[in-house]
Amino acid sequence: MAPDGEDLNRKPRMDRHDRIWWIMLVTVVWYLIICGIPALLIDSPRSPINGIIDKIQYMPDATKFTVSTYLTTLFAFIGAFLFTGIPRRNRFIFRTFLPSFPQNKVSVLLAGLLVGFLMNFGCIVCALLNGDIKLFLNFTLDQIPFYCFALACVFIQSSSEELWCRGFLYERINVCYPLWVAIAANGLFFGALHVFNPGASFLPILDIVICGLSFSIARWYTGSIWFVMGIHTAWNFTQNYLFGLPNSGLVSEVSIWGLDAANARESLLYNVQFGVEGAIPAVISDLALGVICLILAAKQGRLGEFKERQVTQVKRGDLSQPQDEIGQWVYKK
């Protein structure tokens, strides 16, 4: 608690819970281990229950893929709300997830979905024009319910990554470190999450690191995590379910457009194993997102915020703030 007369904008004394190494360790333990174990038990054939999803005989392969790849991340999705909503020191982060947060609007989410689609579609067009991939229409009307289900599952998976990376990790680091540190750490952490994906190599991981940096910058510029949740969802759904391309090395069993995988070829515009995420257009696309946000921010005179923290400590007795956050952290704005 800050005594009367103390400058609340000074850099706070840092305890173990606010150090960057501890925050990243906590993120790994909770996101990958505690929230990941239930998903692993359900999905893995080597688990004690031998992959319960594979035992459900009546479930189509496309649904099994969607459930095991995307829906099992529901544990991480819920875990992010619990881990930020229950501990007092994290509740300022929890509020940034909710519809009541000023920048979280349906229009912002829809804008993110549109941006994500255009980014991924542009990469796919490059591969098509270069002759690296060939697509064929693979859609029937009776598949519509499945694609609605798949979109919901992809939203859960994509949002779970955003809630932990551009939510908890980003915000907690920015409590005691400048904004640029939170953004840099986010990019490196996000890239590390995908190191063991099928087909991961230098260029795909470089793209994902840039993606993590740009998503963090977009999160900062818009002030809304919903925007990057929308981008991430549309990107994954577009390449995996609209066009049947690998999503970080994982290929859906069913898609609206099918990929002629036998004739796909490797180039700087397409990675056969990793998809468009492992090629130059994706690097340019992700980089462009961050650069555009920086240019727009520069016009508004906001680049100085990179040297600042975005939160401040609440003074005891300040009744203008939510009482469960007294002595904790709230946004300056």
Residue 215 to residue 1: CA distance in whole angstroms = 33
Q: Does any domain span residue 284?
A: yes
Helices in 11-105 by DSSP H: which ranges?
20-27, 36-43, 52-55, 61-69, 74-85, 91-95
130, burial (CB in 10 Å: exposed 0-12, middle 13-18, buried 19+):
middle
Query: Rounded mean pLDDT of 69-92?
Result: 93
- Residue 43 lies inside a defined structural domain of this protein: yes
Among 44-58, 141-155, 238-252, the range of highest mean pLDDT: 141-155
> Are the CB atoms for 235 and 119 separated by under 8 Å?
yes
Tell me which amino acid residue 279 is: A
Contacting residues for 23 by C-beta, under 8 A, at least 6 apart? 17, 169, 172, 173
The answer to whether 227 and 219 have CB atoms below 8 angstroms apart is yes
Q: Is 135 helix (H, G, I), strand (E, B) or coil?
A: strand
Q: What is the average per-residue pLDDT within 317-322?
A: 47
Residue 5 lies in a domain: no
* pLDDT score at 56: 62
> Rounded distance, CA 324 to CA 90, Å?
11
* pLDDT on residue 67: 86
DSSP label at 150? Answer: H
User: What's the pLDDT tens digit per position in 5-53?
Assistant: 444 455 546 677 888 999 999 999 999 999 988 887 777 666 655 556 6
| pLDDT tens track for 95-121 | 999 999 999 999 999 999 999 999 999
Q: For residue 325, what pLDDT band results from cuts at 50, 70 and 90?
A: very low
Backbone angles phi, psi at 154, to 5 degrees: -65, -40
Residue 9 inside a domain? The answer is no
- Cα 265 vs. chain centroid, distance in angstroms? 29
Q: Please indicate, yes or no, if residue 214 is contained in any of the structural domains.
A: yes
Q: Name the pairing type of β-strands 135-137 and 257-259.
A: antiparallel
Looking at residue 324, what is its pLDDT?
44
CB 295 within 8 A of CB 306: no
316 falls within a domain: yes
> DSSP secondary structure string, 270-312?
BBTTTBGGGSHHHHHHHHHHHHHHHHHHHHTT-GGGGGS-SEE
CA distance 87 to 65: 34
- Average per-residue pLDDT in the chain? 86
Range(s) of the domain holding residue 280: 16-331
What is the predicted pLDDT for the residue at 15? 73
pLDDT attached to residue 13: 60
pLDDT tens, 252-289? 889 999 999 889 999 999 999 899 998 999 999 999 99
Count of CA atoms in the C-beta half-sphere (13 A) of 30 = 22
Number of structural domains (the chain) is 1
CA distance 81 to 165: 13
Helix or strand holding residue 174 (H, E): helix 170-176
In a domain, 24, yes or no: yes
Name the burial class of residue 47, with classes exposed (0-12), middle (13-18) and buried (19+) by CB atoms within 10 angstroms of its CB.
middle
Bigger pLDDT: 51 vs 298: 298
Top pLDDT among 196 and 267 is at 267
The pLDDT of residue 333: 45
Residue-level length of the chain:
333
Residue, of 224 and 41, whose pLDDT is higher: 224
All residues at 6 or more sequence positions from 304 whose CB lies less than 8 Å from its CB, including other chains: none
Residue 60 lies in a domain: yes
